[in-house]
Amino acid sequence: MSTICIPIPDLHRHKTVDLEITVDGEKRALTYRVESFPWPEVLSVGDKVDLLRSYLENESGGWELVQIGPPDGEMVPITFRREVGVNQEK
């Protein structure tokens, strides 16, 4: 899948972003979800990675991992995506 960068203001206030795109006349609807994963300084890097791996392995609901962002204090942003039908409930 190609990448398009779209600035979203105040992303911390929103949990999901819904996009409807048209590619070669075909409409597609995508929902993006951003989660803030705890990244406590008191844990070793190995322990943090193990916690993150466990979280991702147990993620359900048809979400695809898009990106794990850099730590921001004691949180790490994780972005997920899923495609939904254009007329389906997001």
Q: What digits encode the pLDDT tens for the residues 34-60?
A: 888 999 999 999 999 999 999 999 887
Per-residue pLDDT of 2-38, as tens digits, reads 777 777 766 665 577 788 888 889 898 888 888 889 9
Distance CA 36, CA 44 (A): 19
Instruction: Using the structure block, give the residue that is written with the tokens 């006349």.
Output: 25
pTM: 0.74
Q: Which two tokens stand for residue 35?
A: 């989660």
Q: Which two tokens stand for residue 70?
A: 């850099």
What are the structural domain ranges in the chain? 12-84
